[in-house]
Amino acid sequence: MAGSPKCVPDSPAVAAQRGLTDPRAALAAAVAALAPGTPIAVACSGGADSAALAVAAAGLRSDVHPVHLFHVHHGLAPQADQWLARVERLAALLNLPLSLRYVRVATDLGLGVEGAAREARYDALREMAADARISVILLAHHRRDQAETVLLRLLRGAGVHGMAAMRPDSVRGELRLLRPWLDIDRDQIVTLINEFARNTRWRAVEDPSNTDPGHARGALRSALAPALRAHWPAWEQTLARHARQAADVAGILGEVAAGDLESLDCDPNDASFSLLRWRALSAPRQALVIRHWLAGQGARMPGERRLDDLLRQLRNLHALGHDRNLVWRHGALEVRCLRGRVVADVPGAASS
């Protein structure tokens, strides 16, 4: 089951990226913590940002970090085949191996087209990484992307963890995702790819959905961002800084939640915990530890209303959980209370 990416505590390499303005220097700082010989892949759509990251990564010493390109063909845009051809040309110019996956974006998952495409993309990246025996993927998100993500999550009512937005170093399943450019101004990235284009006559693709007001991010870029830029020129830096501060707070809350979960007599075998001990916590810490526990099960974080429903049921149960048949379903996960212990499982899944 795909869950939310897990944040990796800031390493000296992540700290070293802060304050850097040169894309190549930021990339070098990001990979500095990787063991020599670790292969890396660049997720490359063919757009200016990911192409620039591919160009910068190609400049790394190949004997230290072999570089691959990964491309996902969504088939959502009529230009998708042209974008693939552009990426193939880029790979040839950089003399880098290219892996490709065609995916079908499911529209019946309740995630919207953008969310469903994102899930399909990560599934494809995971498959390509497994085939190439690669566990580290570079993503080209930059400061503007980060600022947009913070603003969109604020408008959707996200909490502290959501406002932390994208992390420079995170783990999603078997993949380690590095975003070395979250503090980099996009103008610096455009300068890098334009220089490459002048030397090679290669041109980045332009995805019209990026500014399509029919999509949330496109609406922000086409309608809201120009006004923000006119009245608050430093809005990108401000919101990116807010994401870093929220990430610090989220890390502290994670430490508190981990300690609380340990105090609930959490069983390392089935991750069940004591209902009675959970009830001894304050209401905010009850909610905090449940979120932490669900994340540990690989579950996508429920919305406030869904989470409140689970909390209400747990608070109203008999201390031994035998006065009613609690079954709280969230995706493929089922939460139950058996003999006074709260447990989560996926029906039909093979037990490890």
Please provide the size of the chain in residues: 352
Measure Cα distances from 13 to 20, 27, 221 in Å: 12, 10, 31
Is 166:180 a contact under the CB 8 Å cutoff? no
Distance from C-alpha of 243 to C-alpha of 117, rounded to nearest angstrom: 24
- Residue 82, both tokens: 């042209």
For each of the chain's 352 residues, which pLDDT tens digit applies? 444 555 555 555 565 566 678 999 999 999 998 999 999 999 999 999 999 999 999 999 888 899 999 999 987 777 889 999 999 999 999 999 999 999 887 665 555 667 677 788 888 999 999 999 999 999 999 999 999 999 999 998 888 988 999 999 999 888 999 999 999 999 999 999 999 999 999 999 998 888 888 888 899 999 999 999 999 999 999 999 999 999 999 999 999 999 999 999 999 989 999 999 999 999 999 999 999 999 888 887 888 888 999 999 999 887 655 556 788 988 788 999 988 899 998 776 654 4
Distance from C-alpha of 320 to C-alpha of 342, rounded to nearest angstrom: 10
What backbone phi and psi angles, to 5 degrees, belong to 324?
-160, 160
Measure Cα distances from 216 to 47, 153, 156 in Å: 19, 11, 11
Is 189:181 a contact under the CB 8 Å cutoff? yes
| Residue 341, SS3 per DSSP | strand
Distance from C-alpha of 165 to C-alpha of 145, rounded to nearest angstrom: 10
DSSP bridge partners of 341: 274, 338
Cβ neighbours of 323 (radius 10 Å): 11
Q: What is the pTM of this model?
A: 0.83
- The one-character DSSP state at 323 is S
